[in-house]
Amino acid sequence: MPELPEVETVVTVLKRRILGLTIQNIDIYYDKMMDEDTKTLLIGKTISDITRQGKYICFHLNPYVLISHLRMEGRYFFKDIDEPKLKHEHVVFTLSDGLSLRYHDTRKFGTFDLRHLSDYKVVPPLSQLADEPFQIDPKALYKTLKSKHKAIKTALLDQSIIAGIGNIYADEILFSTRINPHRMTSKLTQKDTTNVVNAAILILNQAILSGGTTIRTYVSELGVSGRFQLKLMVHQREGEHCYVCGGSIVREVINGRSSFYCKTCQKR
């Protein structure tokens, strides 16, 4: 699933290519993703800005904001208008420069929500997001974590606790801080929490500079190659040697999610 750095990369490329263009038409091939009322409201609107909130992409089309979530396998592609539509291209935007922006989603899990520009951040889905590592107060996060009774790996994936982190970066953050992914949040210290926030900021920024991580089903769309997978310390490295201690990286399932870590560096 695309996480904060991957979504930030997509936003950067989208802004470079389609900012200032007008939506001339929208073809909807999967009506559970977008309805005709939304289509009607968006035709003729100009893309004035594209921003990111957590893992959401926000297309600013005054007086509306179209909020897009890629979920597991959503991708955007630029294509010529006359290029044949592929099976899994579910929403096709025709833009004023003759460009076709196509939303491709094999699993059909992606979502589009239309909100008013005046209050889009204070209503669902964005109102359900916590602060990102870049803005979050470590002391406030510590209080939140102390009140929970769940594994820290699970907590880092909870977007209502801290936004933008997914499975890949949660593993990398916990390895960087030498915290075992099974460790309960109620057992964390203030120092642990501060270290997690600092590591998250560092790792996410590095990943953004690298264009994100290209791994498994996620391929950096729009012609951008993610290179952060070359810097992964533990994620998807089951059975390989730890770069720090030489031990073996293990994979264990925590609350339904595969977690990769070093048992020596990250003792329980």
Q: List the domain boundaries for the chain.
A: 4-128, 138-231
Residue 172 bears catalytic tag:
no
pLDDT value at position 67? 98
Residue 221 bears catalytic tag:
no
Residue 55 bears catalytic tag:
yes
Tell me the average pLDDT across 95-124: 96
Report the percent of the chain where pLDDT is more than 90: 85
- pLDDT 10s digits, 220-254: 445 455 556 668 999 999 999 999 999 999 999 99
- pLDDT 10s digits, 170-220: 999 999 999 999 999 999 999 999 999 999 999 999 998 887 665 443 344
pLDDT value at position 249? 98
* Residue of 5, 39, 55, 89 with catalytic role: 55
Would you say residue 60 has pLDDT above 50? yes
Tell me the average pLDDT across 116-132: 97
pLDDT value at position 118? 97
The tokens of 64 are what? 């509306």
Beta bridge partners of 197: none
* Residue of 3, 73, 89, 172 with catalytic role: 3
Contact (CB, 8 A) for 53 and 63: no
Least confident of 49-63, 66-80, 116-130: 66-80
Contact (CB, 8 A) for 3 and 169: yes
pLDDT value at position 83? 94
* Residue of 71, 148, 257, 263 with catalytic role: 257
The CATH number of domain 138-231, selected from 1.10.3720.10, 1.10.8.50, 3.40.50.720, 3.30.70.270: 1.10.8.50
What integer best gives the mean pLDDT of the chain? 93
Residue 3 bears catalytic tag:
yes
Domain 4-128 has CATH 3.20.190.10: yes
Tell me the average pLDDT across 99-124: 96
Task: Say which residues have a Cβ less than 8 Å from residue 105's Cβ, sequence separation at least 6.
Answer: 33, 70, 71, 73, 74, 75, 88, 90
